[in-house]
Amino acid sequence: MNLIQQIRQIYVPVHDLDRAVRFYRDTLQLPLLFQADNLAFLECSGVRLMLSRPENEDFAKASSVLYLQVNHLTEAYEQLLAKDVQFIDEPHLVAKMENLETWMAFFKDSEGNTHALMSEIHTK
């Protein structure tokens, strides 16, 4: 049995908690589990996103890139563009394997963290 079972929670540093909650809950449509004081937790298919102001300088840097799986990249990209999400690039092919293509589009969250929409397409 593996020592590590799964990723259960990811911390995303924020400057303005209410603004970040609106972005992740309303724009990305992730369910808000709860918000208390300077913390908020959202659900993303079995992984919790913890939004919080950094406790100290060690946690004040940008977060790791979240690669968010979507079924239809172009549709998701267009929906988020319509909500004024700032994209760094357009949907593009990043890897082509024998029977699988990986497409991505990178964007900034409300706090300046970089994340990506990701879609894997099975080919013949």
pLDDT at position 1 is: 80
pLDDT value of residue 83? 96
* pTM score of the predicted model: 0.88
d(CA 44, CA 93): 24
Residues 48-74 have pLDDT tens digits of: 999 999 888 877 777 889 999 999 999
Start-end of H helices in 1-124: 17-21, 73-82
**Alpha-carbon distance 107 to 117, whole Å?**
8
For residue 57, give the amino acid letter. E
